Structure 1
Amino acid sequence: MTAARIEENRSHPRLPDLLATYHLANQAEQDKAVATVAELPAVYRAEAEAEDPAAAFAADTVLLATPPGADEPAGCVVLKAPREGRAPEIKRLWVAPEARRKGLAKALMAEALRRAADSGVPAVRLTVWNWREEPLALYRGLGFEIVASWDDRPDLLCLERRLDLIERLDPDAVRAHAPAGLAELLVDAVDSGASVGFLAPLETAEAAAWWSRVAEEAAEGVRDVWAARAPDGRLTGVVTLVRAGTANGRHRGEIARLLVHRCARGRGLGYRLLATAEAHAAATGLSLLVLDTQTGSPAERLYRGAGWTAAGTIPDFAADPAGTLRATTLYYKQV
């Protein structure tokens, strides 16, 4: 499956049309239907008019999603800039009806959350009408929780999500986290059936020893390590990037050990970790990334959705944690 294309562009000519459709549908849902943009409340009309679509969001991040194979964006979302010390707010999530059920809303939310986390803010918030069951289910699946209201409009729910911080670990940090946080991530992955090079049960000491070796590779400049840290300080995910050691492969790297703890899955953290490693690879001169994963595993959906291409499948390549030989699919991505 080809991934949707996400771009930041508050001046895209398609944006006013998307926002107009959003606001007209929103008014109709509230029994305040109007027929044209000109009849919208002034604050909404300013967003949906084509004369200067960027002005309404001059300080904000506007993301657009284009479905695979399409030429024009069919979805949008706005990440508002933090104001008065409050957490940034996600607004105007909209996907055109003809482009729904293609993952655009989730891709837009994942990118908005990644950008918010990269900015260093501890949380993101949003509002949703209580009758909008499908968006509410999406937000809850991404880790948003209903909190005390900051908007007194009836039937409007206020939600917030605390953000995991992704940070690069230097060799000393890898060594420090090896006995506990990093070892726990590896043990959890094996316990949940992930084929990551170990058989079950994996002892914590063995997992910690593996991470200690990774620390040495990090010190040698062979491997880069990023970890996600929850607001309470726990490590919730990790990814590593291994650089090819041969003279003719210095343009190439491998994504290895992308792990998200079971308590943090389903919230876009794997996507954020992967995107962080990809961005660093491109910024440091790598142009090609490769990885392998167990065929049919949930990880395949992540990689395909992030724009990776399957190069082929090898039968009986590696044993799963229970010792059963499984096929592995090889992926690549040019960055």
Structure 2
Amino acid sequence: MTARIEENPSHPRLPDLLAAYHLVNQAEKGTAVETVAQLPAVYRAEVEDPAGAFAADTVLLATPPGEDLPAGCVVLKAPQGSRAPEIKRLWVAPEARRKGIAQALMAEAMRRAAVSGAPAVRLTVWNWREEPLALYRALGFGTVASWDERPDLLCLEKPLPERPTRPVSADRVERLTPDEVRAHAPAGLAALLLDAVDSGASVGFLAPLAVPEAAAWWTRVAEEAAEGVRDVWAAHGPDGSLTGVVTLVRGGTANGRHRGEISRLLVHRSARGGGLGHRLLATAEAHAAATGLTLLVLDTQTDSPAERLYRSAGWTAAGTIPDFAADPAGVLRATTLYHKRVG
């Protein structure tokens, strides 16, 4: 299950989250204070009146599954002039960390920035904050020229895809348990694989692909998930149907446990064009970084739509192999290998 995201600058829990953020931030900067009243005026104003302080901005809160109160927040600042919108105040309560809440907040903030037509989003982070920095790198943020000259402060930016041609996907993305993979294998997951093959995607199968063969492949994936070798995330549409999936395979050798492979990123044709592929990919990347992986790899058919997605998400091409794999029609195609550091 994923966290529930809501926009509410007047939520009664928000002042506590902002207070915790600023008190920890002051301590990390070497200017610790004990109470909100001792914070610099601009920060104190945010805690005392978030709705007023962020009146022009988008304030998002995340509530963990099964909980009643938000445990995290983030602010997407309104763009100023020609500058890209800035993400600020990302905070997750310590007891709720490593549950994907920060990733969910970032994904929603970036989704909303994309909806607004922004070409990029930006943020700043202190260079000693290793975990947040790893998350931002995993999400495709790169270091850019500084717009804030404070020592030790890094300025990062991430390009966003062009405004989608269809409404931005609001489909729910969640990690599947092995039992859920087994349950979805004969229908939803098999249908995604069949749709990919029917649309010409080179995903390891030739056309025509039969449902039993697709279901059997996903049943083997469920076993790998049970063994801890592979993680699976699926996107659920408003009617509960599966609209996309991505898997992360962990390195199995003693000298490769730091890396993983993105495999079978599939988005149904009916759900393409709304950024769902980017969301699924970002979810897997962020989880990889949060669980100790530092390097991700993948391969995809050269000059395919998938390749354009990976490039836009900050992946680096390592090289192209001619005639590496057959497409669904049996024609040999070139494959490009990609890598991305996430930690």
TM-score by shorter chain over 0.5: yes
Secondary structure of the structure 2 residue equivalent to 1:326: strand
Secondary structure of the structure 2 residue equivalent to 1:248: coil
Structure 2 residue ranges without an equivalent (≥5) = 1-51, 61-74, 89-108, 123-161
The equivalent of 2:76 in structure 1 is: 62
Instruction: For residue 277 of structure 1, report the CA deviation from its aligned partner.
Output: 0.1
Secondary structure of the structure 1 residue equivalent to 2:116: strand
What does residue range 52-91 of structure 1 map to in structure 2 within 5 Å?
Answer: 56-57=56-57, 59=59, 61-62=75-76, 74-76=83-85
1:213 and 2:220 equivalent?
yes
The equivalent of 2:312 in structure 1 is: 305
CA distance in 1, matches of 2:178, 2:334: 33
8 Å CA contact retained: 1:77, 1:90: no
Residue identity in the other structure for 1:331: Y
What does residue range 19-98 of structure 1 map to in structure 2 within 5 Å?
Answer: 56-57=56-57, 59=59, 61-62=75-76, 74-76=83-85, 93=116
CA distance in 1, matches of 2:77, 2:276: 19
Distance 1:292 1:210, change over 3 A: same
Q: 1:282 aligns with which of 279, 289, 292?
A: 289
Distance 1:73 1:168, change over 3 A: farther
CA distance in 1, matches of 2:203, 2:173: 21
8 Å CA contact retained: 2:265, 2:281: yes
1:224 and 2:231 equivalent?
yes
The equivalent of 2:301 in structure 1 is: 294
What does residue range 1-335 of structure 1 map to in structure 2 within 5 Å?
Answer: 56-57=56-57, 59=59, 61-62=75-76, 74-76=83-85, 93=116, 104=119, 138=163, 141-143=165-167, 163-335=170-342
Secondary structure of the structure 1 residue equivalent to 2:209: coil
CA distance in 2, matches of 1:64, 1:289: 33
8 Å CA contact retained: 2:58, 2:76: no
Residue identity in the other structure for 1:57: D
Distance 1:221 1:63, change over 3 A: farther
Distance 1:296 1:170, change over 3 A: same
CA RMSD of aligned residues (A): 3.0
TM-score by length of 2: 0.57
Instruction: For residue 53 of structure 1, report the CA deviation from its aligned partner.
Output: 7.6
TM-score by length of 1: 0.59
Distance 1:138 1:219, change over 3 A: same
Secondary structure of the structure 1 residue equivalent to 2:196: helix
CA distance in 2, matches of 1:278, 1:265: 20
CA distance in 1, matches of 2:208, 2:253: 35
| Count of residue pairs brought into register by the alignment | 215
CA distance in 1, matches of 2:323, 2:199: 20
Distance 1:90 1:274, change over 3 A: closer
Instruction: For residue 283 of structure 1, report the CA deviation from its aligned partner.
Output: 0.3
Instruction: For residue 142 of structure 1, report the CA deviation from its aligned partner.
Output: 3.5
Instruction: For residue 62 of structure 1, report the CA deviation from its aligned partner.
Output: 1.2
Secondary structure of the structure 1 residue equivalent to 2:202: coil
CA distance in 1, matches of 2:301, 2:58: 44
CA distance in 1, matches of 2:77, 2:254: 39
Instruction: For residue 322 of structure 1, report the CA deviation from its aligned partner.
Output: 0.2
Structure 1 residue ranges without an equivalent (≥5) = 1-51, 66-71, 80-87, 96-103, 109-136, 145-161
Distance 1:301 1:74, change over 3 A: farther
CA distance in 2, matches of 1:303, 1:218: 24
The equivalent of 2:142 in structure 1 is: none
Q: Percent identity?
A: 70
